[in-house]
């Protein structure tokens, strides 16, 4: 008896073949193990072998998806934070930006912040590491932010001539500075004040129109 052809990766009884779910489970196990190994060993003693052993997969399986340990670490960190760093759509650009910036600060102040510190520190001497962080974490977040800024422009909350890259650097640069240098605290109040200060300079100019002053009506008795 001939079986019906598969559609969308499913067999004739509507179930997926067993290979793909197992592959995805292995991939997720590798990324979880990456964060655990990095937290335990630090960047300098981090090895693919340790990740493979903890995830119970072969080393070749890890290299199938990630060519370098830098790519693996950047992907694992990005995957663990993507959901938390999504922008809301509240109808207000200032509210959307402040919410997402607050979430980033929470991550920096958590145990995941040590991973970011390790990546950025290693990236100063290893171009491959910082390139992986830019490509796999930073740029996807900025693409989402571009869409939020475009939405703000359409609503008239931002000037049309605003440079989006300069605006995002002005919003997020101080957060990274306080995170890396530690000269002052990272707090929700700081984020709200920063967002308000930067966005206020990017709003459209308000045209002041002189109201014509009418003489008072004189009623005759």
Stronger pLDDT, 124 or 9, i.e. the higher one: 124
Mean pLDDT (the chain, rounded): 86
In a domain, 216, yes or no: no
In a domain, 25, yes or no: yes
**Domain carrying residue 33:** 20-65
Segment 47-105, tens digit of pLDDT: 999 999 999 999 999 999 999 999 999 999 999 999 999 999 999 999 999 999 999 99
Q: Is residue 19's pLDDT more than 60?
A: no
Residues 109 and 181 in one domain: yes
Distance of CA 27 to the CA centre of its chain: 21
Residues 91 and 196 in one domain: yes
Segment 73-83, tens digit of pLDDT: 999 999 999 99
pTM for this predicted structure? 0.79
Cα distances from 194 to residues 49, 92, 116, 169, in angstroms, run: 43, 16, 22, 12
The set of residues, in sequence order, having a beta carbon less than 8 Å from that of 73 and lying 6+ positions away, is 34, 38, 43, 46, 115, 119, 129, 132
In a domain, 14, yes or no: no
Q: What pLDDT was estimated at residue 71?
A: 94
Residues 150 and 85 in one domain: yes
Residues 100 and 188 in one domain: yes
Residues 52 and 131 in one domain: no
CA distance 54 to 144: 33
For range 34-39, the mean pLDDT: 91
The closest of 69, 67, 81, 107 to 191, measured between CA atoms, is: 107
């Amino acid at each position: 008896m001939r079986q019906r052809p598969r559609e969308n990766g499913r067999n004739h009884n509507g179930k997926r073949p067993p290979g793909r779910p197992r592959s995805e489970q292995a991939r997720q196990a590798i990324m979880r193990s990456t964060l655990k190994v990095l937290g335990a060993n630090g960047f300098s003693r981090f090895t693919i072998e340790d990740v493979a052993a903890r995830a119970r997969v072969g080393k070749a399986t890890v290299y199938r998806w990630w060519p370098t340990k830098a790519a693996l670490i950047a992907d694992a960190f990005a995957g663990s934070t993507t959901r938390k760093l999504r922008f809301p759509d509240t109808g207000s650009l200032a509210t959307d930006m402040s919410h997402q910036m607050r979430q980033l600060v929470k991550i920096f102040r958590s145990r995941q912040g040590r991973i970011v510190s390790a990546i950025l520190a290693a990236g100063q001497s290893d171009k491959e590491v910082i390139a992986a962080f830019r490509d796999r974490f930073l740029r996807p977040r900025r693409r989402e932010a571009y869409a939020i800024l475009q939405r703000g422009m359409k609503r008239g909350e931002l000037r049309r001539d605003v440079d989006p890259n300069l605006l995002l650097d002005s919003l997020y640069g101080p957060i990274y500075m306080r995170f890396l240098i530690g000269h002052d605290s990272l707090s929700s109040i700081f984020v709200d004040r920063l967002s308000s200060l930067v966005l206020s300079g990017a709003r459209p100019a308000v045209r002041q129109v002189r109201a014509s002053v009418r003489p008072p009506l004189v009623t005759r008795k």
